[in-house]
Amino acid sequence: MTTPPWDASYTSGTLPPWDIGRPQPAFVRLADDGLLRGRVLDAGCGTGEHALLAAARGADALGVDVAPTAIERARSKAAERGLAARFEVADVLNLADLGLTFDTVIDSGLFHVFDDADRTRYVASLAEVVRDGGRCYLMCFSDRQPGDFGPRRVSQEELRAAFDGGWRIAGITANSFEINLLGGHTGAQAWLAAIERTADAAPPAGADSPA
């Protein structure tokens, strides 16, 4: 099997910008509110901080990533912390291959890496594994972020369009990523969306709280 390009992000000797060594504060708040529950999938989990967060709060958590080195590190963290989170090398564009369904999905900085074609494939892949009534909590780079450094910016309208069929947007709120750059942490503008899987999707809601 060919090592995917993303793996190089974890073998260069420095942490990639998205790896801050702890969960993003937005997801800690969701966990505090009891929203990372049931069987949880951390899609594009990196070194596993969000799956580990969910597991620490009692969820049955699985993290998947295409980068084997990231998965090895996530497994080591789980063992060190005595947490039962599981981690697998897997392609998020083919989640049905897992043979599982999920109550909750965490997407911290994954959606915005895809081009238009793979964005469509990703949403279809999620639809295969999220049960009716299940939630996806998705945080992506926002079009409110100035400049062009870093990932592709995403607008609220793009999020709503991507999840137009079989999903209901429960809320999209302004938030921020913590980013690890040159050994220090900085911030970037983000959208945090709560998206519900439903066979009979209601018209998109306004920019409500993602609860």
Reported as a single tens digit per residue, the pLDDT across 114-171 is: 999 999 999 999 999 999 999 999 999 998 888 787 788 899 999 999 999 899 999 9
* Residue 204 pLDDT: 43
CATH of range 5-12+22-197; options 3.40.50.620, 3.30.70.2740, 3.40.50.150, 1.10.30.50: 3.40.50.150
Predicted pLDDT at 1: 43
Most confident residue range from 97-106, 145-154, 177-186, 194-203: 97-106
Q: What gap in Å lies between CA 117 and CA 133, rounded to an integer? A: 26
Q: Residue 136, CB half-sphere, CA atoms under 13 Å: how many?
A: 31
DSSP state of 6: G
Q: How far apart are CA 128 and CA 13, in angstroms?
A: 36
Q: Which residue has the tokens 């910016």?
A: 153
Q: Which two tokens stand for residue 112?
A: 């915005």
pTM summary value: 0.89
Contact 26, 84 (CB under 8 A): no
Residues with Cβ within 8 Å of 168's Cβ and at least 6 positions away in sequence, in order, are 195, 196, 198, 201, 202, 204, 205
